[in-house]
Amino acid sequence: MIIHLFKAEFSRYLAEVRTYFPDQITSMVVTILIFVVFTFLNLDAGNSAFYIGYAYWYLISGW
């Protein structure tokens, strides 16, 4: 009985991973690309407004 429940839960978990994993990878790649673009656009690395703006964007995007 317990093994049957474990197998069912494990198969449900694998279905969730197959469903949501590509979205997580895409979100991570987009976040990294935007951070790189923000970094290249802001050559003045001492400007703290850049980091605050990126932190706000990151929090609002909900990743």
Q: Is the pTM of this model over 0.75?
A: no
- Cα–Cα distance measured from residue 28 to residue 9, given in angstroms and rounded to the nearest whole number: 27
Per residue in 12-60, pLDDT (tens digit) is 988 888 888 888 888 888 888 888 887 777 776 667 777 787 788 778 8
pLDDT at residue 12, rounded to an integer: 92
pLDDT at residue 45, rounded to an integer: 60
pLDDT at residue 44, rounded to an integer: 65
pLDDT at residue 63, rounded to an integer: 56
pLDDT at residue 40, rounded to an integer: 79
Cα–Cα separations (whole angstroms), residue 55 to 42, 46, 52, 59: 15, 16, 5, 6
Domain ranges of the chain: 23-63
Residue with tokens 């003045």: 44
